[in-house]
Amino acid sequence: MFLTALLLMTSSLMFSCREEHPEPELPFHDNVCVLMGVRILDYQLRKIDFVLDVAVIKGGKTADSTTLFEGLPDTAFVFNNYFFNGTEVRHQVNKIEYIDTFGFPTFYNCMLIDQSDAPNSYKKRDPYNYRFENLNAFLKNIDYQGNVVLSAFARNGEIEESPLTIYEKKFTPVWNETIARNLLDLTHKTGGTSSRLDALYYAVKYMAEHAPDSNRSVTVFTINKDDGKSLYTTFDIINLAQNHKIKINPVFFSYTDSLVGFSSMLSLANATGGFSMTGGTWELSSAFFLMNQLLKNNVSFYRIYTTLTIGAPNWFNNAYRSYMRVRFDSDPANDAYVNFLLEKP
């Protein structure tokens, strides 16, 4: 009798209370704008007609809840008018279209991470190591959609090889612990100056030599501008990248031009067909969920036909850098920003 009761009680408790695995989350979910491309239609002394291709990501904390923003009104796209050399530079939106794309079936990407020491400590800009979480989110969601290799750059800093360290030296189509471990360790390896141009040159060269000739790109996550000691110039990198059809995608973890040097990097993106985005590490977090789609060029975007007018002719200016903000509601704090560069063709 006792044994029977014991068996009954035991069997009643023999079920498991295993829970479903919750979907991992990122701490923030801001809307993010990604500049997919800039095309100059007409470049005159006092007037520039151009087209911006901008993908707008609707922020989500999880990969499933992060989508592309559709149906934004034309009034949501607001350009910044400013004074340049004492004359006003104005923008006028002529037309906005929503473009669907299909993109490439896969990608080969080199993640190039800036490990140089920031002038004002990087700790202040990313105190909670959201950069790691963002990149880890991207890695965890690759899932055989593409192939990626991890690298980091700094000159005379803490990483193994100056000016560029390429970890594992092989592409991976899926999250693996070794890459994630290397990424986590990079948290402690900031130091030295930025060898951004040299590192980009070597990264493009590595991609040319090791990645199959199919939708290749280098995504550079940058917190500092080049230290001026690089052997290679922007022109060298553009030449090499264009020869091998390798796109360069700059991701700026700062809004401050004097820190990250927007113009040269945007020029690289314009010349090679890469995308770019700007923001803090937590403001960009949603974009990392859609990084796979961005690298496959598989995102729908807004095509904004715009005219830029210059109050008085400026004979020497071959490029204008400006920005556009996308307003989602009446709160300016929710705006997302797009940095772009208009270069004379």
Partner 1 sequence: MDLSTKKMTGNKPLFIKVSLIFAFIQLLFMVNNYAQRLSFGVTYQMTGLHYTHFTKDVYFSPSSFKGYYLDKNQFSFTGACMNVGFVALMDISRFSLWMEWSIFSDNEGQVTKLKYPWADDTFHIYYSRINNGGSRMLAEIQYVLSPSRSMKPFAGFGFANLSPIQATEDISTKRNFSKGWFDEYEMRPVFNFDKNYNLFLLETGIKNSYLAFSVRYFFKWNRLTPNDNFYSFFTLSLSAITNFSGLKRQMLYFE
Residue 28 contacts partner 1 per CB under 8 A: no
Member of 64, 100, 177, 331 binding partner 1 (CB under 8 A): 177
DSSP-derived letter for residue 12 is H
Residue 9 contacts partner 1 per CB under 8 A: yes
For residue 221, the tally of other CB atoms under 10 A from its CB is 20
Member of 4, 14, 144, 316 binding partner 1 (CB under 8 A): 14
DSSP-derived letter for residue 65 is T
Residue 15 contacts partner 1 per CB under 8 A: yes
Member of 67, 85, 121, 214 binding partner 1 (CB under 8 A): 121
CB of 133 to partner 1, least distance (A): 4
The secondary structure of 111-178, three-state, reads: EEEECCCCCCCHHHHCCCCHHHHHHHHHHHCCCCCCEEEEEEECECCCCCCCCEEECCCCCECCCCHH
Closest to partner 1 by CB, 63 or 207: 63
User: CB under 8 A: which stretch of 31-39, 84-92, 129-137, 245-253 binds partner 1?
Assistant: 129-137
CB of 14 to partner 1, least distance (A): 5
CB of 253 to partner 1, least distance (A): 12
Member of 51, 93, 180, 208 binding partner 1 (CB under 8 A): 180
CB of 241 to partner 1, least distance (A): 30
**Alpha carbon 304 to chain centroid, angstroms:** 20
C-alpha 50/C-alpha 307 separation (Å) is 6
31 φ/ψ angles, rounded to the nearest 5 degrees: -75, 145
Burial of 316 (0-12, 13-18, 19+ CB in 10 A): exposed
Residue 129 contacts partner 1 per CB under 8 A: yes
C-alpha 247/C-alpha 238 separation (Å) is 9
Closest to partner 1 by CB, 17 or 333: 17
Q: How many residues bind partner 1 (CB under 8 A)?
A: 39
Member of 19, 209, 329, 331 binding partner 1 (CB under 8 A): 19
3-state secondary structure of 73: coil
Q: Would you state the structure tokens that stand for residue 173, as one six-digit string?
A: 């189509």
Member of 51, 106, 140, 298 binding partner 1 (CB under 8 A): 140
Burial of 159 (0-12, 13-18, 19+ CB in 10 A): buried
Closest to partner 1 by CB, 108 or 289: 289
Angle at 288 between CA 282 and CA 289, to 5 degrees: 120
Give the footprint of partner 1 on this chain (CB under 8 A). 2-3, 6, 9-10, 13-19, 21-22, 24-27, 121-123, 126-129, 132-134, 136-137, 140, 177, 180-181, 183-184, 187-188, 190
